[in-house]
């Protein structure tokens, strides 16, 4: 018909969901449901504020009545679920919120979506998709060799990973048991604009700019496979349009770095991009701190399937993406200050020290 399609995005005021919404608005009508926890910030969506193709709704994915109402009144052709509690350290201090959102409320979302999809007919029913966005952390840890494939066994090691694993299993079961056309994506570590400054990359940037110690866990030798957030968002869009129901797609940047290498790269970029910084060389701020319990040693993703079947590959390299990211944080220091002060809808949690 050529008419613009509607999608329901959950968690679209967070880091990845927010980047996704910024890319999707215009191509789709986006109904954006987000609870605005500390990690969700409306300022991230300033660029699409008031846009006719963006409707923001504050609420929880576990609110059945609200979700059912949004589905019935907007009739989306897809739901993309980003909503989750996501910080591993917080899950170690308090796993309950993770089980609440990532398991209990995800189940409520599945129930609402199943009811909606079940009542669709014909082409609407055939083309409907639920895309559930998940992480490579569900696969546990790797030795020096090998990579995670879609066939790798689930071996989550943190409460965060366990709660995401549980949600993945529920999504799979809703596909196998009830036929819900759901797709799961498992992606490696993301970095880029609008990431809450508790995660490694923005934490390193903000600490370095303040001349404060940059904490690195253990020996810093943990290996992560980094992907620029917009590349992840483009992969999700591809899965939404062309992915097959019931399938799993691993997404990764083919960019393995140790945490120490990542932190050193950022410090080097700051040395270059902030001439005359009183804190240069920023690498001298690196401080090794006691390792996180249960810390996974290495993650690496084999993204061959999404490359072969859907033709997706990342546009940014680790170097180009990291430079874009550091530049963004330099140009948007106000965003960091305001989200950390909880001025944009987040409940103030404060991030004094390392958690
Ligand atoms: P984030 O913490 O930045 O954002 C999560 C968003 O979900 C926030 O806006 C928050 O307000 C919202 N939210 C939380 N609980 C909610 C609830 N009950 N109802 C509605 N909204 C709620 O997280 P992120 O880094 O953007 O991650 C998004 C998704 O991608 C998560 O499912 C995460 O597991 C997955 N993922 C993240 C990474 C990464 O490196 N950040 C990598 C792979 C997968």
Backbone angles phi, psi at 186, to 5 degrees: -120, 115
Q: How far is the CA of 165 from the centre of ligand 1 (A)?
A: 14
Q: Is the CB of 193 under 6 A from ligand 1?
A: no
Q: What angle do CA 92, 134, 148 make, to 5 degrees?
A: 95
Q: How far is the CA of 2 from the centre of ligand 1 (A)?
A: 32
Compute the distance between CA of residue 6 and CA of residue 314 in angstroms, rounded to an integer.
Answer: 26
Give residues with Cβ within 8 angstroms of 302, minimum separation 6.
147, 148, 149, 250, 252
Smallest Cα–Cα separation from 190: which of 136, 238, 271, 239? 136
Domain locations in the chain as residue ranges: 6-191+227-254+299-316
Q: What is the pLDDT of residues 144-160, one digit of tens each?
A: 999 999 999 999 999 99
- 6-191+227-254+299-316: in CATH 3.40.50.720: yes
Of the residues 34, 43, 105, 136, only one is catalytic, namely 136
CB 84 within 8 A of CB 160: no
Query: Exposed/middle/buried for 277, CB within 10 Å: 0-12, 13-18, 19+?
Result: middle
Of the residues 34, 43, 137, 231, only one is catalytic, namely 137
| Coil/strand/helix, residue 80 | strand
Backbone angles phi, psi at 62, to 5 degrees: -85, -5
Q: Is the dihedral of CA 273, 279, 284, 289 positive or negative?
A: negative
Q: Which of 9, 36, 84 to mutate to test the pocket of ligand 1 (most atoms within 8 A of CB)?
A: 84
Give residues with Cβ within 8 angstroms of 94, minimum separation 6.
none
Q: What is the pLDDT of residues 221-279, one digit of tens each?
A: 999 999 999 999 999 999 999 999 999 999 999 999 999 999 999 999 999 999 999 99
Compute the distance between CA of residue 263 and CA of residue 283 in angstroms, rounded to an integer.
Answer: 8
Q: What is the pLDDT of residues 172-219, one digit of tens each?
A: 999 999 999 999 999 999 999 999 999 999 999 999 999 999 999 999
Q: Is the CB of 37 under 6 A from ligand 1?
A: yes
Q: Is the CB of 198 under 6 A from ligand 1?
A: no
- Residue whose token pair is 């120490």: 260
H helices of the chain, in order, are 15-24, 64-74, 88-93, 96-99, 106-118, 122-127, 159-178, 200-210, 229-242, 259-273, 304-310, 318-331, 333-340
By DSSP bridging, strand 6-10 and strand 29-34 are parallel
Residue 221's pLDDT is 96
Q: Is the CB of 135 under 6 A from ligand 1?
A: yes
Angle between helical axes of 259-273 and 200-210 (0-180°, round to 10): 40
Residue 114 token pair: 């199943």
For the chain, the farthest-separated pair of C-alpha atoms sits apart, in whole angstroms, at 64
Q: Is the CB of 60 under 6 A from ligand 1?
A: yes
Q: Is the ipTM reported for this complex over the cut 0.95? A: yes
Residue 271 token pair: 């040395």
Compute the distance between CA of residue 280 and CA of residue 277 in angstroms, rounded to an integer.
Answer: 6
What is the Cβ-side half-sphere exposure of residue 10, based on CA atoms within 13 angstroms? 30
121 is catalytic: no
Q: What is the pLDDT of residues 19-32, one digit of tens each?
A: 999 999 999 999 99
pLDDT band at 304 (very low <50, low <70, confident <90, very high): very high
């Amino acid at each position: 018909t050529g008419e613009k399609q509607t999608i329901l995005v959950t968690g679209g005021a967070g880091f990845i969901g927010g980047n996704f919404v910024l890319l999707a608005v215009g191509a789709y009508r986006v109904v954006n449901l987000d609870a605005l926890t500390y990690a969700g910030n409306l300022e991230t969506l300033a660029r699409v504020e008031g846009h006719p193709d963006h409707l923001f709704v504050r609420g929880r994915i576990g609110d059945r009545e609200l979700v059912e109402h949004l589905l019935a009144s907007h009739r989306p052709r897809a739901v993309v679920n980003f909503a989750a509690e996501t910080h591993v350290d917080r899950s170690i201090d308090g796993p309950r919120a993770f089980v609440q959102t990532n398991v209990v409320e995800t189940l409520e979302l599945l129930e609402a979506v199943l009811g909606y999809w079940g009542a669709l007919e014909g082409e609407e029913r055939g083309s409907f998709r639920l895309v559930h966005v998940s992480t490579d952390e569900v696969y546990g840890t790797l030795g020096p060799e090998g990579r995670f494939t879609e066939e790798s066994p689930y071996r989550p090691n943190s409460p965060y990973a366990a709660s995401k694993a549980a949600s993945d299993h529920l999504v799979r079961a809703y596909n196998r048991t009830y036929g819900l056309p759901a797709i799961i994506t498992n992606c490696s570590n993301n970095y880029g604009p609008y990431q809450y400054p508790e995660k490694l990359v923005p934490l390193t940037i903000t600490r370095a700019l303040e001349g404060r110690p940059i904490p690195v866990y253990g020996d810093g030798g943990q290996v992560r496979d980094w992907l620029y957030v917009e590349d992840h968002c483009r992969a999700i869009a591809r899965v939404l349009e062309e992915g097959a129901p019931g399938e799993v797609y691993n997404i990764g940047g083919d960019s393995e770095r140790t945490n120490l290498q990542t932190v050193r790269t950022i410090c080097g970029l700051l040395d270059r991009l902030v001439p005359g910084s009183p804190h240069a060389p920023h690498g001298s701020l690196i401080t090794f701190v006691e390792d996180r319990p249960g810390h996974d040693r290495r993650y690496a993703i084999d993204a061959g399937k999404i490359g072969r079947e859907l033709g997706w590959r990342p546009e940014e390299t680790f170097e180009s993406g990291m430079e874009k990211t550091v530049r963004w944080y330099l140009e948007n220091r106000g965003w960091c200050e305001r989200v950390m002060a909880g001025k944009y809808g987040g409940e103030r949690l404060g991030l004094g020290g390392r958690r």
